[in-house]
Amino acid sequence: MKVGVSSFAVIRQPLSEVEGDLLGLGVGVEVMCEPPHAWPAPVPWSNGPLLSLHVPILGINIASTNPGIRNESVAQVLGVIREAARLGASGVVVHPGIPPFDEVFPRERGLPYAIESLYRCAEAAAASGVEVYLENMPDVAMAKGAPKVGHRFIYGTSYEELRRIFESVGHPSLRLCLDLGHAYLAGRQVLDALLRDPDVVHVHVNDNSGWRDDHLAWGDGEISRIVDLARDLPDSVRAVVFEHNSMDACRASLRRPAAGDLLKKGERT
């Protein structure tokens, strides 16, 4: 098992200016390919193989009912796949897409497009020698005390829907990425189901208090009280990435016993 950090911690700075800071943490790196941080291609990285890449988030919708937006979104993912192959990364993290507004089309309308897009991406990944990691999504509140609304605005919040998309694609180069923060926000039953899922090979570690996708250091929220990283992750997991909102949070997580236990486990596998 490999351990790394996400460049999400420095997303507002050019990757070329913070590459040394990320390397200084002493673990692998997953690069968030968000412009202008590290995109468009080529990803500005010059220090050996990366652990993984994450496709851009803003403006991307592989499930769009608008074919122009959908095709450009897939093209962006394909570009990240090519960069992953060039940089020696094992895979690319991708989101399942955003459904149409209920006032325009039924929520289900975008699912076939998500499945078709993911199949195209998985085919390209297989040809490039990398994998695509389909990430579960959060059911979040827009403000403290407000009802959770994520399930209406994004696919892959529920475990059943995530599995439906994954199984409908049915491609060996498509695997699952478990984001612990997202799963906890979607409900304890989602978290428990994904912790048992043998198709999970990639994990994003971050903490929160059950309302917002805060990306706190592991140990600063509620999830770390119920999940033991060294014990509870599926045996199929090959990489664990600490995805936090700051470098200080990354350092805090890596100093704590949970990360040490993971690193020791990685040495044995």
Residues with Cβ within 8 Å of residue 80, at least 6 apart in sequence: 33, 39, 41, 53, 54, 55, 56, 92
- Cα dihedral: 149, 154, 159, 165 (round 10): 160
Spans of all domains in the chain = 2-268
28: enclosing H helix or E strand: strand 28-32
Average pLDDT on 96-103 reads 90
Question: Are the CB atoms for 149 and 140 separated by under 8 Å?
Answer: yes
The residue to which tokens 């940089």 are assigned: 87
Confidence label for 57 from pLDDT (cuts 50, 70 and 90): very high
Residues with Cβ within 8 Å of residue 95, at least 6 apart in sequence: 55, 57, 60, 62, 135, 137, 154, 156
171-193 tens-digit pLDDT: 999 999 999 999 999 999 999 99
242-258 tens-digit pLDDT: 999 999 999 999 999 99
- Structure letter (DSSP) for residue 252: H
Question: Are the CB atoms for 5 and 29 separated by under 8 Å?
Answer: yes
* Max intra-chain CA distance, the chain: 53
Question: Are the CB atoms for 208 and 200 separated by under 8 Å?
Answer: no
What CATH number belongs to 2-268? 3.20.20.150
Is residue 163's pLDDT more than 60? yes
Confidence label for 112 from pLDDT (cuts 50, 70 and 90): very high
CA-wise closest residue to 234 among 200, 209, 257, 188: 200
CA-wise closest residue to 203 among 174, 173, 236: 236
Chain centroid, CA 269 distance in Å: 23
Average pLDDT on 5-22 reads 98
